[in-house]
Amino acid sequence: ILNVEQSPQSLHVQEGDSTNFTCSFPSSNFYALHWYRWETAKSPEALFVMTLNGDEKKKGRISATLNTKEGYSYLYIKGSQPEDSATYLCAFSAGAGNMLTFGGGTRLMVKP
């Protein structure tokens, strides 16, 4: 059974704060690490797919890093805005094909 852990489970920040979350995953049989944003009443939205050790991806104020040797990824949000409030999920895949193992998610709430 693959274990994908995310921390913290929830986070309350003020508008303008920068924040980061952690995703840890098995370091063996790594294929890809995915990050998703899931807003209430909407579909999960893909943020990043990361495949290479040392990979860094950026989309606006959101960025992510990947360390496959030690099995962790960080997601950073710079200058949080209320519209960033969502659950952020990471998912690990151990091979080609689309079997994703999800972490429990980090619920972010940004107060105006």
Partner 1 sequence: KAGVTQTPRYLIKTRGQQVTLSCSPISGHRSVSWYQQTPGQGLQFLFEYFSETQRNKGNFPGRFSGRQFSNSRSEMNVSTLELGDSALYLCASSLFDTQYFGPGTRLTVL
Report the C-alpha gap between 105 and 112 in whole angstroms. 22
Residue 60 C-beta: closest distance to partner 1, Å: 17
- Residue found under tokens 């990979």: 55
**In this complex, which beta carbon is closest to partner 1, that of residue 17 or of residue 65?**
65
Q: Given CA atoms 93, 56, 26, 105 in this order, what sign does their dihedral have?
A: negative
Q: Nearest distance from residue 8's CB to partner 1, in Å?
A: 15
Counting beta carbons within 10 angstroms of the beta carbon of residue 50, is it exposed (0 to 12), middle (13 to 18) or buried (19 or more)? buried
How near is the Cβ of 104 to partner 1 at its closest, in Å?
5
3-state secondary structure of 97: coil
Shortest distance in whole angstroms from residue 78 CB to partner 1: 23
Give me the residues that bind partner 1 (CB under 8 A), please: 32, 34, 36, 42-46, 49, 51, 89, 91, 97-105
Closer residue to partner 1 (CB): 13 or 49: 49
Please choose, from the candidates 65, 88, 71, 78, the residue with its C-alpha nearest in 3D space to the C-alpha of residue 11: 88
CB nearer partner 1, residue 71 or residue 105: 105
